[in-house]
Structure 1
């Protein structure tokens, strides 16, 4: 039996998916703020170092380039369809989701751990960046993907340890995500 989904139902499903993404991103940011209220000061402190953005972005792209011969990542069909639909229906909303996602990951996986730090810094860094890498494995198809994403997490973490602000590191992360999405999708 073939089921035909009307364009109205597809658009409704797309809207619901977009709302889910926005809510989850907001939940992670809110959770980090609840766990460590001093994060609000970091969010409100706006200082952007464009040279640091370029250095971080180039480091992330170098890691990607270094590992790309060993890792063949085909985007999942559902992700591919979702990004294309979002782009065609509302590129501004897609950009907002990408911005919110970069900030969510920076706040939750780097800023929150740095401010709570109950274990020695290096152990804390490794544990949180490994979690960051596991979150990005597409359907757990290939564990080798963990290595470059883990290294990318370390580069982003290093941005903070070199006195970059939340906004500097988040912008570099956002630009990297935009480049990767453009290449993959």
Structure 2
């Protein structure tokens, strides 16, 4: 059921379509992972922290050694507060922590995803982690942040700090309130 919902969100919010075969394969992998976790509850807790079955976790890619990875996602519903969740693992797949948060009411899924990323960043940094790779399923979040970073580093703009702190947030707010069907960042 979760995969059907994810596929629907991908189509509605990002205008991308998965094949039913891909959705079915991912749903089977999710079910196998869920079953393996339920079956392993009797085992000692420290064994549960490591990903034992590489096939059920094949869709997760480990970060480079010395880094950790934080996967995050959100739930967006119109006229309600958004929900966020994240999980942190090291380069060998060991579980380091997780979190969830109740965000503010937002106007679209992009704003909810950005809020989820912000909460995940605050959590990981408060835990003392510094070399972190954040991964989510909304490509627009990363395109938006990459464009903002490029603008802040532009050598032709005098006083980049001023530009980044005053103009970029203004344009981000404008983008968040636009119709996503017309927003294209190169």
TM bin (shorter chain)? under 0.3
TM-score (norm 1): 0.25
More strand by share: 2
More helix by share: 1
Point out the structure with max Rg over C-alpha: 2
